[in-house]
Structure 1
Amino acid sequence: MGKLNRRVAIITGGGTGIGRNIALEFAKEGAKVVIGSRNMANLEKVVEEIKALGGHSLAIATDVSVAEQVRSMVK
């Protein structure tokens, strides 16, 4: 049982780099991960990596400079 079981993590910039690595680590610890980034192709790759680990995730194309997109991601 991971430290983050039954938790939901929202991670922006999750398609590459540090954000991607954080998303993967949170998933390994049992969190359901919502990842956002402007590049949906990168997000889809991370979703597949999380699924391969046995985790659950949701990818949402999000530009954090647009407030309405951020609100939609959190809902």
Structure 2
Amino acid sequence: MLPDRRDEHPQQSWRQLRRRAFTLVLLELVLVLGGVGLFKSLSCALQAMDHSLQLVHRNGLKVLGLLGMLLSLPY
């Protein structure tokens, strides 16, 4: 016959189990909030990069216009 496996596991009180479950839930909450925070910070950095790129494109057109005006001036 197989040995009784109930004797191999140490007895854990409900208090210990609740504490461990609460700790795991808190850990999962911290991980989720960290992921959300990371996503928001990356999203904000990407928005800033997009805004910067738009400024560069607009300024590039202004520089080309200025060069065109300067080249059209008689020497």
Q: Which has the higher contact order (CA 8 A, sep 6+)?
A: 1
More strand by share: 1
Asked which structure has the greater CA Rg, the reply is 2
Which has the larger share of helix? 2
TM-score range, shorter chain: under 0.3
